Amino acid sequence: MIQKLQDVGELALQQIKFSQDLESLEKVRISILGKKGALSEVLKGVGAIPASDRPQIGGMANEWKKRIEESLESRKQQLEQIWLAQKVQTERIDITAPSRCLHRGSLHLVTQTTQRIIQILSRIGFDVTLGPEVETDYFNFEAVNIQADHPARDMQDTFFLSPGIVLRTHTSSVQMRAMRAQKAPIRILCPGAVYRCDNDATHSPMFHQIEGLWVDRGVRMSDLKGTLLYWAKELFGSSTQIRFRPSYFPFVEPGAEVDVSCFQCRVKVSPLCRVCKGSGWLEVLGAGMVHPRLFEMAGYSQDDEVRGFAFGVGVERIAMLLYQVPDLRLLYQGDLRFLSQFK
Ligand code: FA5
């Protein structure tokens, strides 16, 4: 038994010494000290020897175990050092190498423009309200005074999802929802996507509008003009002027198309100007005083002198003007060479 212990111990020390890596060292450990390892196997025979010899054998076995464990630990440390040294050699990091370029994303030009417009108007008390893009025919048309047989339906070619359900053609669909949801005063902006069967350099089938609605006692056309002049000066520059041209929208009376003076030809209108094409003016939005019929439909009493104005601006067109984008479709092609210019 003593001889067997000695043989196992000495062999173990040899194997540990010649282990070349941590993995083979672990195998050696298991083959000696593991449950079915060589040392355990020898000790299984202890039961067969006389009781008087057992303490001596037990003592020897413990001593060998301790020697083996110490030897394993010291070889392990050696092998770890070797592993680390090899790693440092083979995986050298060149801290002077130029770093890889990280492409940081940025907000889309349409989002930036939307945020800019909202920021300007929120300074004078407008809050943002959202409405659904999938809208009922009622809120998109009838509730803004466009009846089923009204010729104004032809002004906006509509995507119908099912009978009575449309993709909203304008953010004016939010007007009636807002007037029914809350009483005056109302001062809201409704940004969002709208849809029409359109497609060319200045018309996209999906585009964005921001609707403005201010309803309160005694609101007048001059308030509309003051609000839009403030907005235009903040957006296009302090020398900007605005002009109203009479126009027709069924939900306002009177209605107007609003132009801003060309921010490119600030001092003198140039016939060569690429922005205004020599006219000196840029059309930016539709606006007007809320039609009395809408107040009626929203359940407002005629006696309470509540009036209102509304306007609707096309975000892409504003972005095109501000950044001189020649074709609206560029905004939706996802070409980073184009989009990253507006970071
Ligand atoms: C309207 O949509 C009205 N709801 C605006 C309004 C609101 C008038 C409140 C009065 C009171 P219009 O169809 O003109 O009006 O569209 C408004 C703006 O959306 C246009 O001036 C234009 O800038 C933009 N626009 C219209 N169609 C498209 C399109 N297919 N692609 C990109 N922009 C468009």
297 compared with 44, residue with greater pLDDT: 297
Place of tokens 């403030």: 230
Question: pLDDT value at position 68?
Answer: 92
- Distance (angstroms) between ligand 1 centre and the Cα of 95 equals 55
Query: Which of 20, 21, 42 minimizes the C-alpha distance to 31?
Result: 42
Percentage of residues in the chain with pLDDT exceeding 70?
A: 99
Percentage of residues in the chain with pLDDT exceeding 90?
A: 62
- Cis before residue 205, ω within 30 degrees of 0? no
Phi, psi of 269 (to 5 degrees): -65, 125
Query: Which of 333, 241, 255, 253 minimizes the C-alpha distance to 287?
Result: 255
- Cis before residue 326, ω within 30 degrees of 0? no
| Closest ligand 1 atom number to CA of residue 256 | 10
CA 206 – CA 320 distance, rounded (Å): 15
Residue nearest ligand 1's atom 15 by CA: 286
Sign of CA dihedral 232, 332, 326, 198: negative
Question: pLDDT value at position 53?
Answer: 81
Task: Tell me if 294 sits within 8 A of 175, measured CB to CB.
Answer: yes
Least confident of 72-76, 292-296, 304-308: 304-308
Prediction pTM value: 0.73
- Beta sheet of 165-167, edge-to-edge order: 134-136, 165-167, 160-162
Q: pLDDT tens digits, residue range 16-73?
A: 999 999 999 999 999 998 888 888 888 787 778 888 888 888 888 889 899 999 999 9
Q: Tell whether the model's pLDDT for residue 99 goes beyond 70.
A: yes
Question: pLDDT value at position 152?
Answer: 67
Place of tokens 């800019």: 116
Q: Which protein residues touch ligand 1 with a CB less than 6 Å away?
A: 156, 170, 172, 196, 198, 203-204, 207, 209, 211, 249, 252, 255, 285-288, 310-312, 314, 316-317, 328
Residue of 117, 140, 155, 172 best suited for mutating to test ligand 1, as the one with most atoms within 8 Å of CB: 172
49 compared with 138, residue with greater pLDDT: 138
